[in-house]
Structure 1
Amino acid sequence: MTDVNVVIIGGGAMGCSLLYHLAKAGWQDIVLVEKNDLTHGSTWHAAGLCTHFAHNPTIQELRATSVRLYRDILPEETGESCGFHRSGAMRVTRNPDRMDEFRHVAGLSEFTGYPLEIIDQERIAELHPLAVRDGLLGGIYEPDDGHVDPSLATNAMAKVAQRHGAVIQRYNPVHSIHHENGRWVVETKNDTLRALHIVNAAGTWGFEVGRMMGVNVPSVPVLHQYLVTDTVPAIAERQKKGLAELPIIRDPEESWYCRQERDGFILGPYEKQAQVWSVDGVPPEFGAELMAPDLDRVEHIIEAAMARVPALATAGVKTVVNGPITFTPDANPLIGPAHGVPNAWLLTGSSMGVMEGGGAGKFLAHWMTHGAPPMDALAVDSRRFGPWADRRYRVDKAIECFGLQFGVHYPFEERPAARNLRTSALHELMLERGAVMGAAHGAERPNWFSSRPHDETRDSFRRTNWFEAVAREVDCVTNRVALADLSVFSKFDVTGPDTLRFLDALGANTPPRPGRIGLTHALTPAGGVASEFTVTVFAPERAYLNSAAAAEEMDLDLLRTRAQGFDVRIRNRTDELAVIGLMGPRSGDVLGKLADVTGLSWLSAREMDVAGLPVRVLRVSYVGEKGYELHLDRAHAAQLFLALEEAGNAFGIGHYGAYAANSMRLEKGYRGWGMDLTTERTPLETGLAFLVKPDGRDFIGRDALLKRQPGWDMVLLEIDTEGEVEPFYSHTVFAAGRPVGVVTSGAFGHRVRKSLALSFLRERDMREGLTVKLLGIERPARILAQPPHDPQNLKLKA
Structure 2
Amino acid sequence: MTDANVLIIGGGAMGVSLLYHLTKAGWSDVVLTEKNDLTHGSTWHAAGLCTHFAHNPTIQELRATSVRLYRDILPDETGDTCGFHRSGAMRITTNPDRMDEFAHVAGLSRFTGYDLQMLTPDDVERLHPLARTDGLLGGIYEPDDGHVDPSLATNAMAKMARRNGATILRYNPVTSVRREDGLWIVETEKATIRAKHLVNAAGTWGWEIGHMMGLNIPSVPVLHQYLVTDTVPVVADRIKQGLPELPMIRDPEESWYVRQERDGLILGPYEKDAQPWSIDGCPPEFGADLMPADLDRVEHIIMAAMERIPALETGGVKSVVNGPITFTPDANPLIGPAHGLDNAWLLTGSSMGVMEGGGAGWFLAHWMTHGAPPMDALAVDSRRFGSWADRDYRVTKAVECFGLQFGVHYPHEERPAARGKRLSPIHDLMVERGAVMGAAYGWERPNWFSDHLGDEAVPSFRRSNWFAPVAQECERVSTAVGLADMSVFSKFEVTGPDARAFIDALGTNRCPRVGRIGLTHALSPAGGTESEFTVTVLGEQHIYLTSAAAAEERDADLLRRRANGFDVILTNVTETWGVLGLMGPNSRAVLESLTNDDLGPWLSLREITVADIPVRALRVSYVGELGWELHVKAEQMKDLFQAIEKAGTPHGLGYFGAYAMNAMRLEKGYAAWGADFTTERTPAETGAGHLIKPEGREFIGKPALLDRMASPDRWELVLLEVEPGDVDPYYAHGLYQGDSCVGIVTSAAHGHRTGKTLALAYLRDRDAVDGLKVEILGHRRGASVLSHPPYDPQNARMRNA
TM-score, structure 1 length as denominator? 1.00
Tell me, in whole angstroms, the C-alpha distance in 2 between the residues paired with 1:501 and 1:98.
53
Q: Deviations over 1:54-89 (max 9, x none)?
A: 000000000000000000000000000000000000
Match of 1:311 in 2: 311
What letter corresponds to residue 536 of structure 1 in structure 2?
Answer: T
Tell me, in whole angstroms, the C-alpha distance in 1 between the residues paired with 2:116 and 2:733.
14
Tell me, in whole angstroms, the C-alpha distance in 2 between the residues paired with 1:506 and 1:253.
49
Tell me, in whole angstroms, the C-alpha distance in 2 between the residues paired with 1:606 and 1:795.
20
What letter corresponds to residue 506 of structure 2 in structure 1?
Answer: L
RMSD value, Cα = 0.6
8 A Cα contact 1:174 1:187, kept in partner: yes
Match of 2:728 in 1: 726
Tell me, in whole angstroms, the C-alpha distance in 2 between the residues paired with 1:453 and 1:217.
36
Tell me, in whole angstroms, the C-alpha distance in 2 between the residues paired with 1:603 and 1:356.
45
1:242 paired with 2:234, answer: no
Q: CA deviation at 1:90?
A: 0.3
Pairing partner for 2:714 from 686, 711, 714: 711
SS at structure 1 position matched to 2:753: coil
8 A Cα contact 1:485 1:579, kept in partner: yes
Match of 1:785 in 2: 787
Q: CA deviation at 1:789?
A: 0.4
Tell me, in whole angstroms, the C-alpha distance in 1 between the residues paired with 2:240 and 2:157.
34
Match of 2:747 in 1: 745
1:571 paired with 2:571, answer: yes
Q: CA deviation at 1:598?
A: 2.8
Match of 1:796 in 2: 798
Match of 2:738 in 1: 736
Tell me, in whole angstroms, the C-alpha distance in 2 between the residues paired with 1:636 and 1:319.
63
Paired residues for 1:35-46 under 5 Å: 35-46=35-46
Q: Deviations over 1:334-356 (max 9, x none)?
A: 00000001000000000000000
SS at structure 2 position matched to 1:620: coil
Tell me, in whole angstroms, the C-alpha distance in 2 between the residues paired with 1:432 and 1:685.
42
Match of 2:275 in 1: 275
Q: CA deviation at 1:597?
A: 4.3
597-606 or 642-651: bigger deviation: 597-606
SS at structure 1 position matched to 2:406: coil
SS at structure 2 position matched to 1:632: strand
Match of 1:118 in 2: 118
Tell me, in whole angstroms, the C-alpha distance in 1 between the residues paired with 2:468 and 2:64.
40
Paired residues for 1:447-486 under 5 Å: 447-486=447-486
8 A Cα contact 1:34 1:172, kept in partner: yes
Q: Deviations over 1:16-61 (max 9, x none)?
A: 0000000000000000000000000000000000000000000000
Q: Deviations over 1:576-632 (max 9, x none)?
A: 111000000000100111113435111000112111111111000000000000111
What letter corresponds to residue 305 of structure 1 in structure 2?
Answer: A
Match of 1:324 in 2: 324
What letter corresponds to residue 33 of structure 2 in structure 1?
Answer: V
Percent identity among equivalent residues? 70
Change (3 A) 1:767 1:597: farther
Match of 1:391 in 2: 391
8 A Cα contact 1:513 1:537, kept in partner: yes
8 A Cα contact 1:203 1:350, kept in partner: yes
What letter corresponds to residue 771 of structure 2 in structure 1?
Answer: G
SS at structure 2 position matched to 1:792: coil
Q: CA deviation at 1:377?
A: 0.1
Tell me, in whole angstroms, the C-alpha distance in 1 between the residues paired with 2:597 and 2:527.
39
8 A Cα contact 1:591 1:597, kept in partner: no
Tell me, in whole angstroms, the C-alpha distance in 2 between the residues paired with 1:165 and 1:697.
41
Match of 2:702 in 1: 702
Paired residues for 1:56-75 under 5 Å: 56-75=56-75
Tell me, in whole angstroms, the C-alpha distance in 1 between the residues paired with 2:578 and 2:106.
41
SS at structure 1 position matched to 2:102: helix
Tell me, in whole angstroms, the C-alpha distance in 1 between the residues paired with 2:282 and 2:85.
33
Tell me, in whole angstroms, the C-alpha distance in 2 between the residues paired with 1:599 and 1:129.
72
- Displaced runs of 4+ in structure 1, greater than 2 A? 596-599
Match of 1:262 in 2: 262
8 A Cα contact 2:486 2:580, kept in partner: yes
Q: CA deviation at 1:99?
A: 0.2
Q: Deviations over 1:506-550 (max 9, x none)?
A: 000001100000000000001000000000001100010000000
Match of 2:580 in 1: 580
SS at structure 1 position matched to 2:41: coil
8 A Cα contact 1:228 1:264, kept in partner: yes
Tell me, in whole angstroms, the C-alpha distance in 1 between the residues paired with 2:218 and 2:632.
31
What letter corresponds to residue 424 of structure 1 in structure 2?
Answer: S
Match of 1:165 in 2: 165
Count residues with an aligned counterpart: 797
What letter corresponds to residue 751 of structure 2 in structure 1?
Answer: G
Match of 2:772 in 1: 770
Tell me, in whole angstroms, the C-alpha distance in 2 between the residues paired with 1:672 and 1:686.
10
8 A Cα contact 2:597 2:608, kept in partner: no
Q: CA deviation at 1:687?
A: 1.3
Tell me, in whole angstroms, the C-alpha distance in 2 between the residues paired with 1:26 and 1:597.
62
Match of 1:421 in 2: 421
Match of 2:216 in 1: 216
8 A Cα contact 2:599 2:606, kept in partner: no
What letter corresponds to residue 384 of structure 1 in structure 2?
Answer: R
8 A Cα contact 2:117 2:141, kept in partner: yes
1:405 paired with 2:408, answer: no
SS at structure 2 position matched to 1:287: coil
8 A Cα contact 2:51 2:146, kept in partner: yes
What letter corresponds to residue 403 of structure 1 in structure 2?
Answer: G
Q: CA deviation at 1:452?
A: 1.2
8 A Cα contact 2:733 2:775, kept in partner: yes
Paired residues for 1:52-451 under 5 Å: 52-451=52-451
What letter corresponds to residue 223 of structure 1 in structure 2?
Answer: L
Q: CA deviation at 1:780?
A: 0.3
1:590 paired with 2:590, answer: yes
Tell me, in whole angstroms, the C-alpha distance in 1 between the residues paired with 2:5 and 2:575.
37
SS at structure 2 position matched to 1:400: helix
Q: Deviations over 1:259-280 (max 9, x none)?
A: 0000000000000000000000
Which structure 2 segments of 5+ residues have no match?
none
What letter corresponds to residue 468 of structure 1 in structure 2?
Answer: A
Tell me, in whole angstroms, the C-alpha distance in 2 between the residues paired with 1:474 and 1:391.
39
Q: CA deviation at 1:463?
A: 0.8
SS at structure 1 position matched to 2:111: helix
Q: CA deviation at 1:233?
A: 0.4
Tell me, in whole angstroms, the C-alpha distance in 1 between the residues paired with 2:16 and 2:357.
9
Q: CA deviation at 1:453?
A: 1.9
Q: CA deviation at 1:721?
A: 2.7
8 A Cα contact 1:531 1:673, kept in partner: yes
Q: Deviations over 1:680-714 (max 9, x none)?
A: 00011111110000111100001110012252011
Q: CA deviation at 1:659?
A: 0.2
Paired residues for 1:616-635 under 5 Å: 616-635=616-635
8 A Cα contact 2:737 2:772, kept in partner: yes
Tell me, in whole angstroms, the C-alpha distance in 2 between the residues paired with 1:556 and 1:711.
30
Q: Deviations over 1:140-161 (max 9, x none)?
A: 0000000000000000000000
Tell me, in whole angstroms, the C-alpha distance in 2 between the residues paired with 1:683 and 1:300.
52
Match of 2:763 in 1: 761
Q: CA deviation at 1:786?
A: 0.3
SS at structure 2 position matched to 1:554: helix
Match of 1:679 in 2: 679
1:545 paired with 2:536, answer: no
Paired residues for 1:448-527 under 5 Å: 448-527=448-527
Tell me, in whole angstroms, the C-alpha distance in 1 between the residues paired with 2:118 and 2:283.
45
8 A Cα contact 1:743 1:758, kept in partner: yes
Tell me, in whole angstroms, the C-alpha distance in 2 between the residues paired with 1:538 and 1:196.
39
Tell me, in whole angstroms, the C-alpha distance in 1 between the residues paired with 2:599 and 2:418.
45
